[in-house]
Amino acid sequence: MTQFELLAAGSRGHQRAFSQGQISEVPPVGAERPGHSRVGSKTDFILPPEHKDSTKAEGATSRISTKGHSRQASTSESTYTLRNSDPPHLWQKLYYRLTRRSPRSEQEERIRTVVPNHIVPPKTPRKVHPNGRRPNNRIRTTKYTLLSFLPRNLLEQFHRVANLYFIFIVLLNWVPAINAFGKEIAMIPVLFVLGVTAVKDLFEDRRRHASDKKINNSTCRIYNREHSRYRKVLWKDVRVGDLIHLSNNEVVPADILLLRSSDPSGLCYIDTGHLDGETNLKQRQVARGFIEKQRWFEPSKFRSKIEVESPTTKIYRFHGSIVHDSGQRVPVGTDNLLLRECLLKNTDFIEGIVVYAGHETKALLNNGGPRYKRSSLEKQMNQDVVWCVLILILMCILGAIGCKLWLLAFPDLKSPFREESDQIEAFLAFWTYVIILQIMIPLSLYVTLELCKILQVYHIHHNVDLYDSVMDKRIECRALNITEELGQIQYIFSDKTGTLTENKMIFRNCAIAGIDYNHPGLENEAQNCNKQGNLSVKVNEQLVTDLNQGVTAEHVFSSRNVHSARIQEFLLLLAVCNTVVCSKHPHHDNMNASGIIEALPNILSSAEEDSVKAVETASPKSRSICDKYSRLEESRSVTPSPPLNAFGADSKRSYVPTLSPIESVENSESMEGQASSRSLRPKLLSIPSIGFLSRKSNSTVNLTDEEKVKLGHAASPLSPSDLKPIYEAESPDELALVDAAYIYKCRLLRRTPTEVTVDVPMKGRHQEIELSVDNVEKKIRDSYNYIECNMTLLGATGIEDRLQEGVPETLTALIAAGIVVWVVTGDKPETAINIAYSAKLFSPQMELLKIMARSKESAESTIRCYLADIELQSNQAENAEEHCSAGCSSRIGPQMPKPQGRALVVDGKTLTYILDRRSNLTKPFLKLTTACNSVLCCRATPLQKAYIVKVVKEELKMRTLAIGDGANDVSMIQTADVGIGISGQEGMQAVMAADFALSRFKYLERFLLVHGHWSYDRLSKMVLYFFYKNATFVFLIFWYQFYCGFSGSVMIDQMYLMLYNLLFTSLPPIAIGVYDQDAPYRLLRDNPYLYKRGRLGQAYRTYSFWMTMADSLYQSVVVFWLCKMAYEGTDVDIFEFGTATTTACMCVMLLHVSIETRSWTIIHAASIFCSIGAFFLYSLTYNTFCVNCFGLPSTYWTIQISMHRPQYWLVTLLACVVAVLPRLLFRVCQTMFAPDEVTKALLAERKSQRRGGKFLVSWSRSTSTSSIYRYS
């Protein structure tokens, strides 16, 4: 069996670590795989056995759609981030049938051909053009056009049930038999709400339009066949198949296949910060076969076709091939593709062909707005709106019944009192009541709620306490409609690396041949730099001594010489498997303004030549870089180098590695170093593509002394039994010592030619695999697995990752607030547990429970055992309490000290069994977690993170928050009720997928415990007040029906009815919803347990709504019957009575909101005085100048006459006292006899202060622009 047959038959040796976004399945029971299997990395997608991967089916097609919303794609794509393909809509099927067209075939959808546009005859119709069906590069992110704005915006607003309801009321009012108001007047509230929303949408769309226009009118150079040169064109005019020329620091306008680079090695570097937020430069290389043509590449002679896959959202996945005229096919992949919105860096110029343009580029496919979420408060509010509908229907039915009973009591009544039969009159009365009682459904509540949330987000964003001056970042709010959810979080799921830690990997230790070499770190690198800017590095004296012993050893096979060789091989591996990028400034493009490409300038300038000479004449102790322009195949120099001199602390010259920043980066395929006895020039036979480089760095190296060695360093730890130690002294205990001492370790491996040989046929086989279309990633992975087996362990490195500032204090406060914190990480248990103790997630007093099972039966037995033990402890505690309550003072037996809480640790393998629904372990596991204070999940994959959040939400019915910083946290962030991204070292993918973005984990404390608490409490009070004031006003109209024969008449002027919510009572709810505080910042910060009010939803419960309805019912009775009794027997008309009732109701409303206000500011006072002022100002103006406006009954001089009557002022005063007195007494009694936690804390704080003094309420820009004083 040949090596290719072996590769096809199955993987040998260890299994390669999976990349980010790769799904690994649990192998079937009984399946055997030779060799060992490496533990998956922290970004593996290990699915439960029941999960079926929908992306495996070969030939599966997907229709590319640019409509709707797509979250930011990442390297950890999962079922939570991928956009599902939608079936054809009904209108599409109808279109295909009418036009006699058919959807594109399956093969066309999977593979498309791109033809260079300059070889297509000019003026070719688009229908027959090879690239004619591809979209142009114009982008349009706007929702509306000039013609579609009005109909589409109205259509979107009519998706709200409340808007549809009020449109129905307006149409109902046009029916002559049941109209209650003026037709034009009844439209005012609906038109106002629709108009405000339309203006807001138009403003947002205009901003998008301006951004699109700026992008579309950017320029780039496109090859023009008529002028045989590159000419500047607008981005929107770029087409698929165009050859494009870009200079350094230019933005890539479309997805481009790289064909030429100014670097003779065919390399270029791009900054993908605009795409994924990562700041490190990405390397791309010219397609295979074009590297040798860099100097004489002519665009007019490029006639090859490009076959690529259909556009996908996966930014790190691309497969295709270049088909030459001769039929030769050359594979291309992700490392040959430049994506739109990337920035060309460290390269003079590049040239390529456009393969995806416009909305088919990966950047546009992944461009989605913030996800719409509904908070728990909004869901509960919608339920109460349904109750309002039922109350409205009940009142309408009672009114219709009353109308029929009143007509039956007067059978002799004729027209106009009885136009139809009693049944028809009752039916018409029902719909009349629907019209006059319509404000029972709070239409303006949704607009006010949305406005309050926007203002809350604005103040949170500008809060100086959430501003990070080091990173110059503020909190970013991407979701505008879930601010109150921040005050109700019950579970927090947090990543570890980069979220709790700095994610700054600092080298601290290495172990070579069983000897530990420590590397003391520098606390401040800036202070350790000399005047020339060189960093002074501390040298490990023991390492220098051991390395020098190999030079002074007398016998070549002595132990000292062998150990020195191991150290050199260890250091060589570190040099080969890592890349150093040298940049020169400035970069010059060799294309002039006319688009003519001039000859390449001299490679080295005079200054650069001096730098190179300095390197050549440097001490032999320093490593030198070979000339990047000499290809390794062409340069076979075997000139012996001088022996490696000993270098130590007593050396005259310090050891300074020198890199010369010549034209661009050095050739990545060769390196030259000086060894003790020979010139060492390894050649890289294979560099994994971008997707595989994300898992681990490795390279296949060919040494010129005919020794072939496989060098690589693994980021995922391997079992010592799976490796061949290069020394016998190393043991698993020693490796565990490195694991315990440092957060991360990297093991360095090698392979000798006696074990396997990588030859040219194998390389050709690998190229054939890259040309395939189906399952190409799996085949490439198997190819690497075949090469990477039987590795030999050289040593290990220890990396330190420190905790972020304030993490222990933040976690302590969150746990004290009653929030259950889960840390879900991909790290090994030992490291994660140490971090948990350091971050104060675990305490030494906690009982540590561990579940690390390797079978379903073992996991089940462990969980059952822990549950039984917890139940036994609970029963013993109850028996002890009963024994003590019975008066027994004697102790029975010795008592063991009780642990202060429990902490649970579970690994990823166990989670695989727990998350499998067939195992029936999910509920027992969740029951166990509820008995624990904190939970730590180790070796968790991105999909497992999302599943954990999902099961907690669905099974425990808890409100969850997920926080992370990397691409592997995207699924978890999107699954949680609230997702928070940390803008750390792993890019911005988590931020772009999150609802909120923080720069540091420590800001989470204030964000939740203060702003979340305020937001929930404010909106709860605002919603309840909205229900209260609307219901009170409606009840007043309903009580009047008992005195008008249930005729549907209204004693209040129609303009007052329409402007009641829009003008008279609109400001106080906004003041409450944005600026009210039940407790100051300092009190909430020092007492985290006050978060319990929001966590348990105590501010807005079901009974809160019904208490509000009862209060409004009582106050409406007081206001109406006081007015009735005051004006009974007088000669006032209906509108004067209605004006007095409206005035009393307005004053009661404002007095009620004054009682409910907890922190008085100038804003609260202004809202109340402006409301009452607006009412009187409008009434005086309206009754003075409007004699017969809008065809309504005249109310001329009504309020002026009323204000001259003593009953008017007496009723208003009595109504305010009698109506609000029960509410005031209830608040007083509640404060004295049954205060809540917040009230207790406020009272305790006030008692500690001096009586009669004043204290400053802590207000920042989140509340007001100035400090506010409150008096006690």
Give the mean model confidence (pLDDT) for residues 1092-1098.
Answer: 92
> Around 676, how many Cα atoms within 13 Å sit in the side-chain half-sphere?
17
Concatenating the DSSP letter of every residue in 847-913 gives: EEEEE--SSHHHHHHHHHHHHHHHHHHHHHHHHHHHHHHTT--S--S--PPPPSSEEEEEEHHHHHH
Q: Residue 137: which pLDDT band, with cuts at 50, 70 and 90?
A: very high
Task: Kindly report whether the peptide bond that precedes residue 416 is cis, defined as omega within 30 degrees of 0.
Answer: yes
Is there a single domain that holds both residue 915 and residue 1051?
A: no
Q: Which of 263, 495, 739, 916 is catalytic?
A: 495
Q: Which pLDDT value is given to residue 745?
A: 56
Kindly state whether residue 1258 falls inside one of the protein's structural domains.
yes
Residues 6+ apart with CB under 8 A from 1251: 1272
Least reliable range by pLDDT among 190-194, 547-551, 582-586, 977-981: 582-586
Three-class DSSP category at 905: strand
Is there a single domain that holds both residue 1035 and residue 972?
A: no
Kindly state whether residue 1019 falls inside one of the protein's structural domains.
yes
Q: Are strands 506-512 and 792-800 parallel, antiparallel or unpaired?
A: antiparallel
Q: Which pLDDT value is given to residue 162?
A: 77
In this predicted structure, the answer to whether residue 1020 has a pLDDT above a threshold of 90 is yes
Q: Residue 633: which pLDDT band, with cuts at 50, 70 and 90?
A: very low
In this predicted structure, the answer to whether residue 1269 has a pLDDT above a threshold of 70 is no
Is there a single domain that holds both residue 1014 and residue 1089?
A: yes
State which of 998, 1020, 1053 marks the end of a domain.
998
Kindly state whether residue 370 falls inside one of the protein's structural domains.
no
Q: Residue 109: which pLDDT band, with cuts at 50, 70 and 90?
A: low
**φ, ψ (nearest 5 deg) of residue 767:** -65, -35
In this predicted structure, the answer to whether residue 791 has a pLDDT above a threshold of 80 is no
**φ, ψ (nearest 5 deg) of residue 155:** -65, -40
Kindly state whether residue 1206 falls inside one of the protein's structural domains.
yes
Check the annotation: does 497 bind a ligand: yes
Least reliable range by pLDDT among 282-291, 1084-1093, 1158-1167, 1190-1199: 1190-1199
Which tokens go with 1152?
A: 């009620």
Q: Which pLDDT value is given to residue 92?
A: 57
Least reliable range by pLDDT among 425-434, 581-590, 730-739: 730-739
CA distance 424 to 404: 9
Is there a single domain that holds both residue 1195 and residue 1124?
A: yes
Give the mean model confidence (pLDDT) for residues 1099-1127.
Answer: 95
Task: Kindly report whether the peptide bond that precedes residue 586 is cis, defined as omega within 30 degrees of 0.
Answer: yes
Q: Which pLDDT value is given to residue 127?
A: 85
Q: In this structure, what CATH number is given to the domain that contains residue 937?
A: 3.40.50.1000
Q: Which pLDDT value is given to residue 1037?
A: 95
Single out the residue of 1105, 916, 881 nearest to residue 391, CA to CA.
1105
Are 659 and 580 spatial neighbours (Cβ–Cβ below 8 Å)?
A: yes
In this predicted structure, the answer to whether residue 936 has a pLDDT above a threshold of 90 is yes
Check the annotation: does 806 bind a ligand: no
State which of 967, 998, 1029 marks the end of a domain.
998
Which tokens go with 1014?
A: 């305020």
Q: Which pLDDT value is given to residue 1068?
A: 95
Q: Is the pTM of this model over 0.85?
A: no
CA distance 1106 to 391: 11
Give the mean model confidence (pLDDT) for residues 124-131.
Answer: 87
In this predicted structure, the answer to whether residue 692 has a pLDDT above a threshold of 70 is no
Q: What is the pLDDT of residues 564-611, one digit of tens each?
A: 888 888 888 888 777 666 665 566 666 665 666 555 444 333 333 333
Three-class DSSP category at 683: strand
Q: What is the pLDDT of residues 1141-1150, one digit of tens each?
A: 999 999 999 9
In this predicted structure, the answer to whether residue 653 has a pLDDT above a threshold of 70 is no
Check the annotation: does 333 bind a ligand: no
Single out the residue of 998, 985, 993 nearest to residue 273, CA to CA.
985
Three-class DSSP category at 604: coil
Kindly state whether residue 482 falls inside one of the protein's structural domains.
yes
Kindly state whether residue 890 falls inside one of the protein's structural domains.
no
Is there a single domain that holds both residue 1180 and residue 1252?
A: yes
> Around 991, how many Cα atoms within 13 Å sit in the side-chain half-sphere?
24
Check the annotation: does 1045 bind a ligand: no
Check the annotation: does 1105 bind a ligand: no
Q: Which pLDDT value is given to residue 604?
A: 39
Q: Residue 1179: which pLDDT band, with cuts at 50, 70 and 90?
A: very high
Kindly state whether residue 1140 falls inside one of the protein's structural domains.
yes
Check the annotation: does 1141 bind a ligand: no
Residue 679 amino acid letter = S
Q: Residues, the chain, total? A: 1272
Is there a single domain that holds both residue 825 and residue 974?
A: yes
Q: Which pLDDT value is given to residue 22?
A: 35
Is there a single domain that holds both residue 956 and residue 1079?
A: no
> Around 846, how many Cα atoms within 13 Å sit in the side-chain half-sphere?
20
Single out the residue of 726, 942, 851, 1176 nearest to residue 82, CA to CA.
942
Are 1024 and 1007 spatial neighbours (Cβ–Cβ below 8 Å)?
A: no
Is there a single domain that holds both residue 917 and residue 858?
A: yes
Q: Which pLDDT value is given to residue 478?
A: 81
Check the annotation: does 953 bind a ligand: no
Check the annotation: does 965 bind a ligand: yes
State which of 952, 973, 998 marks the end of a domain.
998
In this predicted structure, the answer to whether residue 666 has a pLDDT above a threshold of 50 is no
Check the annotation: does 692 bind a ligand: yes
Q: Residue 688: which pLDDT band, with cuts at 50, 70 and 90?
A: low
Is there a single domain that holds both residue 1177 and residue 1054?
A: yes
The mean pLDDT of the chain is 76
Q: What percent of the chain has pLDDT over 70?
A: 68
CA distances 1217 to 976, 1151, 1171, 1231, 1254, Å, are 48, 9, 19, 20, 29
More confident residue, 35 or 149: 149
CA distance 58 to 1014: 53
**φ, ψ (nearest 5 deg) of residue 686:** -155, 130
More confident residue, 505 or 906: 906
Check the annotation: does 747 bind a ligand: yes
Is there a single domain that holds both residue 1149 and residue 1251?
A: yes
Q: Which pLDDT value is given to residue 161?
A: 75
Number of domains in the chain: 2
Give the mean model confidence (pLDDT) for residues 1000-1023.
Answer: 95
Q: Residue 910: which pLDDT band, with cuts at 50, 70 and 90?
A: very high
Q: In this structure, what CATH number is given to the domain that contains residue 1148?
A: 1.20.1110.10
Kindly state whether residue 304 falls inside one of the protein's structural domains.
no
Q: How many CB atoms lie within 10 A of CB 416?
A: 6
CA distance 245 to 592: 12
Q: Which pLDDT value is given to residue 423?
A: 87
Q: What is the pLDDT of residues 337-385, one digit of tens each?
A: 999 989 998 888 999 999 999 989 988 887 655 456 788 898 899 899 9
CA distances 1003 to 67, 418, 499, 958, Å, are 36, 69, 12, 23
Check the annotation: does 969 bind a ligand: yes
Least reliable range by pLDDT among 23-27, 512-516, 985-989: 23-27
Annotation marks residue 495 as catalytic: yes
Single out the residue of 398, 399, 396 nearest to residue 440, CA to CA.
396
Q: Where are the beta strands (DSSP E) in 262-336?
A: 267-271, 282-285, 305-309, 319-323, 329-333
Q: Which pLDDT value is given to residue 617?
A: 36
Give the mean model confidence (pLDDT) for residues 910-926.
Answer: 91
In this predicted structure, the answer to whether residue 974 has a pLDDT above a threshold of 70 is yes
Number of H helices, E strands in the chain: 38, 36
Query: Given phi > 0 = left and psi -120 to 50 = alpha, else beta, which region is 775?
Result: left
Q: Which pLDDT value is given to residue 1155?
A: 93
Are 982 and 498 spatial neighbours (Cβ–Cβ below 8 Å)?
A: yes
- Residue found by looking up tokens 């006319």 in the block: 594
Is there a single domain that holds both residue 983 and residue 1129?
A: no
Q: What is the pLDDT of residues 939-972, one digit of tens each?
A: 888 888 999 999 999 999 999 999 998 778 888 9
Is there a single domain that holds both residue 974 and residue 1058?
A: no
In this predicted structure, the answer to whether residue 15 has a pLDDT above a threshold of 50 is no
Q: Exposed/middle/buried for 333, CB within 10 Å: 0-12, 13-18, 19+? A: buried
Q: Give the structural domain span for 456.
A: 377-466+1007-1271
Q: Residue 95: which pLDDT band, with cuts at 50, 70 and 90?
A: low
Query: Given phi > 0 = left and psi -120 to 50 = alpha, else beta, which region is 1229?
Result: alpha
Q: What is the pLDDT of residues 1059-1089, one digit of tens each?
A: 998 889 999 999 999 999 999 999 999 999 9
Q: What is the pLDDT of residues 705-716, one digit of tens each?
A: 334 444 555 444
Give the mean model confidence (pLDDT) for residues 316-335.
Answer: 88
